[in-house]
Amino acid sequence: MDEVDVPRSHAARRALIDAYRRGPYSPARHLGFVVVFGLSVAALSIGLLRDLQAIELLAVPLHWIVANAAEWRFHRDLLHRRTPPFQWTYDAHIGHHRIFVDGDMAVAGPHEWWTILLPWWAIAALALALVPICGLLALAFGANVGLLVMATSMLYVVSYELLHLSFHLPIGHPIGRLGVIRWLARHHEIHHDPRKMRRYNFNVVLPLWDWVRGTTARP
């Protein structure tokens, strides 16, 4: 592997979970905060829309593409490269890759969700960072566009978290058996191959930008 040594056995990888764990953990609070916060901000943004025009709705698919490209770039350049001053994101993500490798992707239960999900505060930090950006978009294109960009961003992050978690559910879980989830999970599992993790399959929500940038790998 070209990034970090991966434990060879399932037991050794699972031992890393205890090594990385810090303090008590509530999976319900972790996932619940992300979902409730993200949906609440999206709902508030949608509720503030006024006199919405059809052309303004183009902000949703256009920003979804931007978000997909940003996910790809963030994953490749900050999670798989030591980029100052964000070295901590690399270190945290490599821990995730040490625990889960292709062929051994499942969590043992909800008490291990912290190994999958982003920090609970990440979605709030993103919303705060988006406020000036959405404000500028509102000034340039109207308030509705700024609000739609904020709503789309929040829904994108919530979908990212739920999909990523679904890819790491125990084998045989009803959600994991869904066709689209199986397809996306296989795309993600290839990314967890230590030989491919720095070069391929960076998208989680949908591999659109992987396809655009030629970073899609197959089994």
**Residue 138 located in a structural domain:** yes
Burial class of residue 108 (count of CB atoms within 10 Å of its CB; 0-12, 13-18, 19+) = exposed
Confidence check: pLDDT of 2 > 60: no
DSSP percent split of the chain into helix, strand, coil, nearest 5? 65, 0, 35
Report the number of secondary-structure helices (H) and strands (E) in the chain: 8, 0
Mean pLDDT computed over every residue of the chain: 92
**Residue 19 located in a structural domain:** yes
pLDDT tens string 48-102 = 999 999 999 999 999 999 999 999 999 999 999 988 888 889 988 988 998 898 8
pLDDT tens string 101-150 = 888 899 989 999 999 999 999 999 999 999 999 999 999 999 999 999 99
**Residue 2 located in a structural domain:** no
Residue pair 157/129 in contact by the 8 Å Cβ criterion: no
Which residue bears the tokens 């999670």? 79
Number of domains the chain is built from: 1
pTM (2 decimals)? 0.92
**Residue 4 located in a structural domain:** no
Confidence check: pLDDT of 38 > 90: yes
What does the pLDDT average to over 173-177? 93
The confidence score (pLDDT) of residue 8 equals 58
**Residue 16 located in a structural domain:** yes
**Residue 120 located in a structural domain:** yes
Burial class of residue 56 (count of CB atoms within 10 Å of its CB; 0-12, 13-18, 19+) = middle
**Residue 142 located in a structural domain:** yes
Residue pair 149/137 in contact by the 8 Å Cβ criterion: yes
Domain that holds residue 134: 10-213
**Residue 219 located in a structural domain:** no
